[in-house]
Amino acid sequence: MDLHPVSGLLVSQIGYDLHAPMRALYRGATRDAWGEEATFALRNADDEALILRKPLVYWGACWHSHWWIADFSELAQPGAYRLTIAAPGAPSVASDPFRVAAYLLWETTIRTVALDQFEARAELARYGQGWKDCGSDWREVGSHTAALIGLLDLLNIGYEWLGREDALRLARQVIHGCDYLATCQQRAGDLGWPEGALVHEMPNYPVLIPQDQGQSVVALARASRHIYEIDPARALNYLERAVNAYTFLTRHCRPSSLPNFSARLHGAPEGYMPTSFMTGDLLMMIWGAVALAKSGRPAHLDEAVRRARELLRRQVPQEAAEGDFYGHFYAFEDCAFTEKAFIHHHVGHDTSMMFNHYIAPLIDLCAQLPDHPEAPRWRQAIHDFAYGYFLPACRKNPCYLLPQGYYAGEGLLSFGGPWHGFNVCYGYAAALAVQFETFFGDSQFRDIAVGNLQWIAGLNSGMTAESFEGSVMWREAIPAGAAIPYSHIHGIGTRAVETWSKIPGSIGNGYCTNRQFRMEVLPSVENDGPWRYADEDWIPHAGGWVSGLTYLRQVTGWEVGG
């Protein structure tokens, strides 16, 4: 990569929650950008009154830059603040003002992202069916289900914080999204596919993709529980459709007949062709079975136990660690290479795979069958993933960001591989981190939850002049050598990106190494970094954001009684 040195003071563009970790970052071109005597000062934005002064801490080198941390988590009062960095003999650097308040991310974004945005997308969708998906006329089942899963987390956990009127608005959008899934299932039947199958998209791509089926089971089964009180007939219809989709997935669906498998994206040997379901598909089979059990079909848990055995046979043991990491999973049953966080390009084999590292279904299985003879093995597998991979891998960068995965011969990569950014995975990584915190009673995971959400909120690597090589429509005049923070949520934040649809609350794809919709940069440590910004707005990102924010709101509320 032809990289130009950049630097900048990076703060959240939406703001910070009280009772959560609060940090600013400095991204520097060289190690000597700040000396050992550098300090940061936090002041009131209105009168410049000094609130605290602390040393600026050097974190290390990552993504061809050097990073410093300004941690002000002890701040206990809401308000508007400004942060400055100073060192003897060097000019000081100051941030824009930013806000700190209780549940600020929630209060600032949740209704715009989860309600207003989806209502607007329902109006703009073809014939008013489903949601306008990604700035184009597409309406993919994989994207709709990934969005629905986040909206259902909100409906299940956060309805009290929304209030009755907004909870009903949310329920109506859940119904709207699930009705589109029902139409896609009907279309598959009309085309002669076995009962329960869903086509990927209408009218352009009536193909079958395993991950679509699994995510649809989870979305429809969960929706059947959470809308029953307001529409029992529709809820029961969703449950029947979920059961049929699960039967198709586990009894009739085939894993390896689709085109568009990218060995480079997977970190697989050239010429490799899969012959089994991906690990992400197995996770969906477990999750779908648990969702059906919770909805009144407990017999499906036998299938969850069977698929969990398959999953655990693919877990990387500590004695075969990849670099410093173990407990993550191989992508296929031959254990030739490990699963990546995000697999999505073209339409075919590598489509809609965004829950590959989301092992929350195993946590759910433990809760459903706590006394099962195999439950200790499930709990150990969760522990090994959480402490052998998830926690140390996220700590390998200054933002606690979920990496893309480990590539043999290269190491841990954060952005290399995908053909556009994957902000969806950061939202769901935050949700998973909170579930790990609760499962293990370990507050270490809070930094990861907040870090992944704040990356989307603007505490990220910053936009540079080169970032727009990956953008299709959005441009800004950013000075050469500057890194300037932007919120990735359209219309929200002191600075915010613009997305294709320009609907407030839309979340852009985010950073990657490739130009958007191209796979031209080899995934390597040398090439790895947040070089290019992808401005398409894909609705799964909203699902991830809503889910992560809802889980964080819940666990924070337990602590502060709100």
**pLDDT digit string, tens, across residues 341-391:** 999 999 999 999 999 999 999 999 999 999 999 999 999 999 999 999 999
Contact 52, 75 (CB under 8 A): yes
CA separation, residue 203 to residues 181, 215, 226, 436, 539 (Å): 13, 20, 29, 40, 19
Q: Quick check: 539 and 559 in contact, CB under 8 A?
A: no
Residue 216's pLDDT is 98
Please give the pLDDT value at position 137.
87
How far is 529 from 510, CA to CA, in rounded Å? 12
The count of other CB atoms within 10 Å of the CB of residue 99 is: 16
Q: Is 108 left (phi over 0), alpha (psi -120 to 50) or beta?
A: alpha
Q: Report the C-alpha gap between 150 and 309 in whole angstroms.
A: 27
Position 381 scores a pLDDT of 98
411: CB partners within 8 A, 6+ apart: 323, 525
Rounded-to-integer distance, Cα 532 and Cα 510, Å: 8
What pLDDT does 196 receive?
Answer: 98
Using CA atoms, how far residue 419 sits from 89, 209, 489, 557, in Å, is: 44, 19, 20, 37
pLDDT at 558 (0 to 100): 73
Cα 340 to chain center, whole Å?
13
Token pair, residue 456, equals: 């989307």
Tokens coding 148:
């629905």
Bridge partners (DSSP) listed for residue 58: 68
Which residue type occupies 402?
L
Phi, psi of 250 (to 5 degrees): -90, -10
Share of the chain above pLDDT 70, in %: 99
Where do the domains of the chain lie, and which CATH numbers do they carry? 20-101 (2.60.40.10), 104-560 (1.50.10.10)
Three-class secondary structure of residue 83 per DSSP: strand
Q: Are the C-beta atoms of residues 102 and 16 closer than 8 Å to each other?
A: no
Q: What is the pLDDT of residues 37-53, one digit of tens each?
A: 999 999 999 999 999 99
Q: Is the pLDDT of residue 213 over 90?
A: yes
Q: What pLDDT score was predicted for residue 459?
A: 98
Task: Say which residues have a Cβ less than 8 Å from residue 115's Cβ, sequence separation at least 6.
Answer: 166, 169, 170, 173
Is residue 104 predicted with pLDDT exceeding 90? yes
- Residue appearing with tokens 């995975």: 425
Using DSSP, state whether 473 is helix, strand or coil.
coil
pTM for the whole thing? Answer: 0.98
The pLDDT tens digits of the residues spanning 153-207 come to 999 999 999 999 999 999 999 999 999 999 999 999 999 999 999 999 999 999 9
Burial of 402 (0-12, 13-18, 19+ CB in 10 A): buried
**Mode of pairing for the β-strands spanning 57-62 and 23-28:** unpaired
DSSP tag of 320 = G
Q: Which DSSP symbol is given to 140?
A: B
